[in-house]
Chains A and B, each alone.
Chain A
Amino acid sequence: MARAANPRDQVAAGDAREIIAGSDIRVVRQGKEILVVPNIAVREGEVVAVIGPNGAGKSTLLAVLACLDFPERGRVFFRGTEVTKRNVVEIRRRMSVVFQEPLLLDGTVLENVELGLRLRGVRDGPRARAVEWIRRFGLTGKEGQAVHTLSGGEAQRVALARAFVLNPEVLFLDEPFSSLDSIARQELLRDFRRIIRDTGVTAVLVTHDFLEVRLLATRVLVLSRGRIEAEGTPESISNDPLWGRLAGLH
């Protein structure tokens, strides 16, 4: 379960399958350590679910791995290259993040889905790619609609299309389904699962919901009070009494 060798050596050795890795990460807020992770790595093709009780540091861990926050201590590597303030924009452009809320920008569905491509200066048919992803998330016909007229489920589909259109090397999802009502959620989960399978995208999924873990994850990390308390497959974790105690599930 735990990796025996020094993670830095591994990274230095350049494990080609490791997309994002962190070593010796510590995040402090108001004098309190809210995240302490000696080492973590996400390999190609994995869907890593991060679960744990509220305030466990799940979103903090995701923000660090998605290069949105720099930890007080420790280093983050993207494909063996250390993430620095200098190269962070370039690295962020090789990943995508979807949050709990859609966080769309004022404009149309198409404008939102195209946005990431435009920010990257993609000249080669961003529109066609956006239209394709709008279709895959079942929103064909709504391209020109203003996003503030969409339902919550539709808006979250736009957010997902906006992330997928970028063809990310790793996709970060911070409870992307939790604010939807149960019908919209089930429908979206079904579509999402198919798309994940089809694309084989590497992903990190923060969630509260064990159903999502079972449906989507290949590996599970259990986080509590800022520390990784357990790691395993969805099956092994769901049978682990520790998880039941931590999450109050079972």
Chain B
Amino acid sequence: MRKNRYISAGLAGMLLAALAISLVEISISGCATKEDVILATTTSTLDTGLLEVLIPVFEKKTGYRVKAVGVGTGQALEMGRRGEADVLLVHAPESEEQVVAEGHATNRKRVMHNDFVICGPQADPAGIRGEKSAAQAFRKIAQSKSLFVSRGDDSGTHKKELEVWEEAGVKPEGHWYQECGSGMGQTLNIASEKGAYVLSDRGTFLSLKKNLALVILVEGDRSLLNIYHVMQVNPEKHPKVNAKGGKAFVEFMVSEEVQKVIGGFGVKEYGQPLFFPDAGK
């Protein structure tokens, strides 16, 4: 019967809500005038703590605020394709080249590398310890049907793992091959709990080593190189991106100063660097 009043009460409620939301926007994000740079990156750069060191330096230097969103490389590249990020820091060269070729990303620069390592339980049931070829090691794991935990999340590490399987000529299937769909840290935990083999980037493995019942069994194969590139999302294709901020971040990452920080990162804690600076290569 008092329909109109209910409608106006409802409207008033929504207005109040909108008001409250805008209030919090002002109060929490405070300096909304500061320009944001959205960085879509792989979990490994966040989980190792490297970006927590680099981002404050960048913010102080340029005045931009960086929003580092940690996702798998696959999702990070997809965010670039959709123009949802301004700059990407990822490690899946083949997929990256494709995104650049499609015109979604530009100004792609090599930043650093570390390498992948094949880890497994100390007992090494498949007998791959010291194996020189990663593909050969994978073949042995498949033949002995030893448990292997895969990221299964379309990340850079996952893509690399699939490459090695292809090289080994094995189709990874069966109960011994388990995709956990998680980040690197979680995947290592699972592999450790199950006594399984796993492919990991060295940095994440080193930073988590203290909690893991896993050791490095195979390393040093050229095919296990893990190369990180930074690139900005192409403003010609995605006019809404923060092109200046993206460009600034690319330049920052390959600057001499940052390259030095990268080379020294983790030495104190783990006795060896987690990443090797590569700019200009």
Q: Which residues in A have some Cβ–Cβ distance to B below 8 Å?
A: 70, 85
Contacts and interface: CB of A to CB of B under 8 A. Distances in A.
B9 to A, nearest CB: 16
A70 B1 CA distance: 9
Nearest to A88: B1
Nearest to B4: A85
B2 interface: yes
Interface string B1-37: 1100000000000000000000000000000000000
A85 B6 CA distance: 14
Nearest to B1: A85
Contacts of B1: 70, 85
Contacts of A70: 1
Interface of B: 1-2
A70 B3 CA distance: 14
A85 B1 CA distance: 7
Contacts of B2: 85
Nearest to B3: A85
Nearest to A85: B1
A158 to B, nearest CB: 29
A230 to B, nearest CB: 33
A222 B139 CA distance: 96
A112 B31 CA distance: 53
Contacts of A85: 1-2
B194 to A, nearest CB: 58
A85 B3 CA distance: 11
B200 to A, nearest CB: 62
A89 to B, nearest CB: 10
A85 B2 CA distance: 8
**CB-based closest 3 A-B pairs:** A85-B1, A70-B1, A85-B2
Nearest to A70: B1
A85 B5 CA distance: 12
A70 B2 CA distance: 12
B153 to A, nearest CB: 55
A71 to B, nearest CB: 12
3 contacts: A70-B1, A85-B1, A85-B2
B1 to A, nearest CB: 6
Nearest to B2: A85
A109 B2 CA distance: 32
Nearest to A69: B1
A26 B177 CA distance: 75
A223 B2 CA distance: 31
A36 B2 CA distance: 25
B217 to A, nearest CB: 71
A90 B1 CA distance: 16
B7 to A, nearest CB: 15
B3 to A, nearest CB: 10
